[in-house]
Chain A
Amino acid sequence: MSPLERALVVSALLFGIGLAGALTRRNAILVLAGIELMLTAVNLNVIAFWRHGGQTASAAGPAFVLFVIAVAAAETAVGLALIIAWFRQRRTVQLDEADTLKG
């Protein structure tokens, strides 16, 4: 396997693990962790394409990754804030208890 393919395999694995975690976990914090893992897979993907795809002349790839990292942090912070707010009201972080809105 070429270096690019190896990196893509790792990133696809990361993405799959993150997605599986986000979809199967009931603990809100762990779902958040799964989503972060998916974003890490994206970063690895972009950097691999940039490094091994012959695109090192332009800085678009790394710039993209920097923005993804920063936005992922902001997303985590907002998610944590919402989880805390919910915890203060319901005393739980289990997502299957989020069931008062239906119809």
Chain B
Amino acid sequence: MNNAAYIQLFKLAGPEMLIALAALAVLLVDLTLMRGAPVRARRVIAVLLTGVGGFAAALYLLQVPLRAVSWGGLWAVDPLTQLVKLGLVGLAVLTAVLSLEADYTDHVGEHFALLLLATVGLMVMAGAADLVLVFLGLELTGLSLYPLVALNKAGPRATEAALKYFFFGALAAAVTLFGFSFLYGLSGTTNLAGIAAALRGRGFDPLLALAVVFSLVGFGFKVAAVPFHLWAPDAYQGAPTPVAAFIASGSKLAGFFLLGRFVALALPESGDAGRAALFTPGWVPAVAVLALASMVLGNLAALAQRDLKRLLAYSAIAHAGYLLLAVLALNGAANRPAALAALVYYAGTYALAGLGAFAVAGHVERHAGAAALNHLTGLGRRAPWLAAGLAVFLLSLAGLPPLAGFPAKFYVFAAALNTPHAGAVSLGLVVVALLLSPVGFYYYLRVLKLAFVTESEKRPAGPDAPGNSPQGGENRFGVETAVALLAAAGVLGLGLFPQWLLGPLQAAVREAGG
């Protein structure tokens, strides 16, 4: 490597470095200048610094030449990755704003620094073009998010959630790495495109199948697909709500984008020699099984939930199943651009709706002590704006037409039905997804019924929620309301005009060359 290459790396990884610098700045400022200041002031300063870092990174992302080539094959910078990174930075800033009310911890500097470092990890995931960087991105994200989940002085439940999240994550990472080591051994390179080139045209190979299936474990964990989902409900419920919102939105978006790119770049598409070819690359049946299990289990388990955050976790698992349909559609070069655009569109709009729903859950939790479903009763009258936002998010998640969830599902299903060589499998999965839609409707509508219809005269003060704040306090136009309204506007806008996002996405995919 020479000097020029090093400088180019600085240029291409500029946004990530800006965010990382912001993380260090937040940590050190909180520890030195703001020492002894009231917690509220420290939070405001930290949010401001986060915002400045995010804004600088976003400007950089918009301004850097988009056609830059990868640096030594490690790092991909193309319009598509820039777009996804822009989304990730946006989600991080929204999460930071949401954390302005983060009265669950006194570790202000750590909270925001870890949030920013997790964002760097997600951006690395989005831009990785090499097994080493894929691994580093996954781990940086994970290692920042585990302690974030634990940052809740409310007690042992958050620590327990973090511990579960950590152990599942570490185990999944180790299995994935074992798969990576075989991918490296079989292909002789750690470069994703190089791996695909080396593996193309191989016959059925048990070791390759093993390597691919092992590699998929870590991605399955990141996106919370069944059977690697066990951490998700606990982590979502135990984590501070802004952190849960970030895991549900940012981590999901980057995880699926990385999975899509990994599948598209590193794993050869199945040949055209009929049925047997389907099993050659190994990942198609594995992803199909994950998709089916996630859709069925996520939707059915969501029915039984009594806590809004747990319900959102299971609904997230169900949506992971739908998103895996789009990943499946990446098989076959002709279908790839459409499938990739649909995948990112779905993941992006899902992230927005999920973040908004968690903002509402955070508001309920702050005022009632927990986000149990029956704490929602009468939300429509107590906080009409928030309740309206919740309706928009949940109906979008259910896939109702004027909202973003509808075009998202439509394009994903369309891409899945166009999948070559796997027509029957994809058709079956789409049918299952459609059959499960009413189930989704049912549990989303149940939540909305509680919020709008059920009378709240016997207002349940949860056993652990003695400090119900006065009504006036809840009506205040807080940051949660602002974030929820912003996200709701986004969901509605992207639902009415899907081309706003889909157009740039398709152009970016074309330019990035699939």
Check if B143 sits within 8 Å of A61, measured CB to CB.
no
Which residue in B143, B175, B180 is a CB contact (below 8 Å) of A74? B143
Give chain A nearest CB distance to B165 CB in angstroms. 9
Check if A45 sits within 8 Å of B181, measured CB to CB.
yes
Which residue in A15, A38, A103 is a CB contact (below 8 Å) of B233? A103
Residues 20-44 of A, flagged 1 when their CB comes within 8 A of B and 0 if not, give 0010000010011001001101100
Check if A45 sits within 8 Å of B157, measured CB to CB.
no
A89 at the binding interface (Cβ < 8 Å): yes
Give chain A nearest CB distance to B163 CB in angstroms. 5
Q: For residue A63, which residue of chain B has the nearest CB?
A: B132
In the complex, chain B residues whose CB is within 8 Å of the CB of A10? none
In the complex, chain B residues whose CB is within 8 Å of the CB of A86? 156, 159-160, 163
Complex-state Cα separation, A72 to B101, whole angstroms: 34
Check if B155 sits within 8 Å of A45, measured CB to CB.
no
Check if A45 sits within 8 Å of B185, measured CB to CB.
yes
B399 at the binding interface (Cβ < 8 Å): no
Complex-state Cα separation, A41 to B150, whole angstroms: 30
Complex-state Cα separation, A86 to B234, whole angstroms: 15
Q: A53-B188, A64-B190, A74-B143 are in contact. Are A100 and B175 (CB under 8 A)?
A: no
A9 at the binding interface (Cβ < 8 Å): no
Q: A38-B174, A78-B147, A85-B150 are in contact. Are A46 and B135 (CB under 8 A)?
A: no
In the complex, chain A residues whose CB is within 8 Å of the CB of B418? none
Check if A75 sits within 8 Å of B139, measured CB to CB.
yes
B279 at the binding interface (Cβ < 8 Å): no
B241 at the binding interface (Cβ < 8 Å): no
Check if A101 sits within 8 Å of B143, measured CB to CB.
no
Check if B160 sits within 8 Å of A100, measured CB to CB.
yes
Complex-state Cα separation, A52 to B233, whole angstroms: 44
B106 at the binding interface (Cβ < 8 Å): no
B71 at the binding interface (Cβ < 8 Å): no
Check if B178 sits within 8 Å of A15, measured CB to CB.
yes
**What is the interface size of chain B, counting residues whose CB is below 8 A from a CB of the partner?**
44
Q: A45-B182, A46-B181 are in contact. Are A55 and B171 (CB under 8 A)?
A: no
Q: For residue B156, which residue of chain A has the nearest CB?
A: A89
Check if A35 sits within 8 Å of B190, measured CB to CB.
no
Give chain B nearest CB distance to A18 CB in angstroms. 7
Give the bracket for the number of chain A residues in contact with chain B. 35 or more
Which residue in B136, B156, B171 is a CB contact (below 8 Å) of A67? B136
Most chain B CB neighbours (cut-off 10 Å) among A22, A42, A54, A79? A42
B35 at the binding interface (Cβ < 8 Å): no
Check if B178 sits within 8 Å of A90, measured CB to CB.
no
Which residue in B162, B171, B177 is a CB contact (below 8 Å) of A22? B171
Complex-state Cα separation, A79 to B173, whole angstroms: 14
In the complex, chain B residues whose CB is within 8 Å of the CB of A38? 171, 174-175, 177-178
Most chain B CB neighbours (cut-off 10 Å) among A22, A55, A78, A81? A78
Q: A78-B146, A83-B163 are in contact. Are A71 and B136 (CB under 8 A)?
A: yes
Give chain B nearest CB distance to A82 CB in angstroms. 5
Interface SS of chain B = helix
Residues 232-274 of B, flagged 1 when their CB comes within 8 A of A and 0 if not, give 0110011000000000000000000000000000000000000
Complex-state Cα separation, A60 to B139, whole angstroms: 19
Which residue in A49, A58, A90 is a CB contact (below 8 Å) of B181? A49
In the complex, chain B residues whose CB is within 8 Å of the CB of A39? 174, 177
Q: A82-B150, A82-B162, A101-B237 are in contact. Are A45 and B178 (CB under 8 A)?
A: yes
Residues 286-307 of B, flagged 1 when their CB comes within 8 A of A and 0 if not, give 0000000000000000001111
Segment 299-326 of B: residues with Cβ below 8 Å from A: 304-307, 310
B166 at the binding interface (Cβ < 8 Å): yes
In the complex, chain A residues whose CB is within 8 Å of the CB of B343? none
Which residue in A48, A61, A68 is a CB contact (below 8 Å) of B135? A68
Most chain B CB neighbours (cut-off 10 Å) among A39, A46, A48, A74? A46
Give chain A nearest CB distance to B239 CB in angstroms. 11
Residues 163-200 of B, flagged 1 when their CB comes within 8 A of A and 0 if not, give 11011001101110110111011001110000000000
Which residue in A53, A54, A101 is a CB contact (below 8 Å) of B157? A101
Give chain A nearest CB distance to B409 CB in angstroms. 27
A98 at the binding interface (Cβ < 8 Å): yes
Q: A60-B189, A67-B135, A101-B161 are in contact. Are A89 and B181 (CB under 8 A)?
A: no
Complex-state Cα separation, A55 to B147, whole angstroms: 38
Give chain A nearest CB distance to B350 CB in angstroms. 22
5 additional A-B pairs beyond A64-B131, A89-B155, A98-B160, beta carbons within 8 Å, are A39-B177, A46-B185, A54-B188, A101-B233, A103-B307
Could you list 25 examples of A-B contacts with CB < 8 Å?
A: A22-B174, A38-B177, A39-B177, A42-B177, A45-B178, A49-B184, A49-B188, A55-B188, A58-B189, A60-B189, A67-B135, A68-B135, A68-B177, A71-B139, A71-B143, A78-B147, A78-B166, A79-B170, A81-B147, A86-B156, A89-B155, A89-B156, A98-B163, A100-B160, A101-B234
Interface residues of B (CB under 8 A from A): 131-132, 135-136, 139, 143, 146-147, 150, 155-157, 159-164, 166-167, 170-171, 173-175, 177-178, 180-182, 184-185, 188-190, 233-234, 237-238, 304-307, 310
